[in-house]
């Protein structure tokens, strides 16, 4: 098994439980780790097209609304496994760097792992 990592995918989106989060939106950062057998030939069709994965993630993060980043992370993981048959397992991290907390926080994120 090998791992393809897409790290630091940044989007402005409208997820959260507070009215101002849904009105103004906030930055979200997504990391994906895709586990798969790498091909022995130099052909894109024999591996994961991470451009296609990026476009799917962007469509979900910016086109859907989730109250919880936990549900967004699960949604992304399920989609990757459904749409990418070569992926055996996926780890998804959804970061909410500007989470509305009563203090200074470097980052808030959730991590989920899904496998076939």
Residues that are catalytic: 96
* 80: nearest Cα among 13, 67, 88, 43: 88
Distances in Å between the Cα of 51 and the Cα atoms of 19, 44, 54, 92, 97 are 33, 11, 5, 16, 24
As to burial, measured by CB atoms within 10 angstroms (0-12 exposed, 13-18 middle, 19+ buried), residue 109 is: middle
- Write out the two tokens for 50: 């991470």
């Amino acid at each position: 098994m090998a791992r393809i990592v897409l790290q630091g995918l940044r989007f402005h989106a409208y997820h959260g439980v507070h009215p101002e989060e849904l009105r103004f939106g906030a930055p979200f950062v997504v990391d994906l780790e895709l586990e798969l057998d790498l091909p022995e030939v130099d052909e894109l069709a024999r591996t994961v097209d991470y451009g296609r994965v990026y476009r799917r993630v962007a469509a979900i993060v910016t086109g859907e609304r989730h109250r919880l980043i936990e549900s967004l992370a699960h949604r992304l993981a399920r989609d990757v496994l459904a749409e990418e048959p070569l992926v055996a397992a996926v780890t998804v991290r959804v970061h909410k760097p500007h989470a509305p907390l009563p203090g200074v926080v470097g980052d808030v994120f959730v991590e989920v792992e899904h496998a076939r």
